[in-house]
Amino acid sequence: MAIKITPLKLAIATIIGASTLAGSFVQAAEVNIYSSRKQALIKPLLDKFTEQTGIDVNLLTGNSDALLSRLTAEGENTPADLFLTVDAGALHRAVSADVFQAIDSEFAHQTVPAHFRDSEDQWVGLSLRARPIFYSPERVDPSQLEDYMSLADEQWQDRVCIRSSNNIYNQSLVAALLDHHGEQKVMTWAQGLVENFARTPVGGDRDQIKGVAYGVCDVAVANTYYFGHMLNSDQAEEREAAEKVKIFWPAQEGNGTHVNVSGIGITKHAKHVDEATQLIEFLLSEASQKWYAEANYEYPVREGVEWSETLEQWGDFKQDDISMDILGENNAQAVRLMNSAGWR
Binding site for Fe cation: which residues? Answer: 225-226
β-bridge pairing 30-35 and 82-85: parallel
* Angstrom distance (rounded) from CA 60 to CA 55: 16
- The DSSP bridge partners found for residue 271 are none
Which residues are within 8 A (CB) of 300 and not within 5 positions of it... i.e. 6 or more apart?
Answer: 127, 128, 289, 290, 292, 293, 307
List residues forming the annotated binding site.
225-226
Could you give the 3-state DSSP secondary structure of residue 265? strand
Task: Report residue 221: phi and psi, to 5°.
Answer: -115, 125
3-state secondary structure 231-257: HCCCCHHHHHHHCCCEEECCCCCCCCE
250 contact partners, CB below 8 Å, separation of at least 6: 132, 133, 145, 146, 147, 148, 150, 257, 258
Q: Across-strand partners of 127?
A: 262, 300
Distance CA 211, CA 219 (A): 8
Exposure string for 177-197, b = 16+ CB within 10 A, e = fewer: bbbbbeeeebbebbebbbebb
What are the CA-CA distances from residue 121 to residues 76, 83, 214, 271 (Å)? 20, 14, 44, 19
DSSP, collapsed to helix, strand or coil, labels residue 30 as: strand
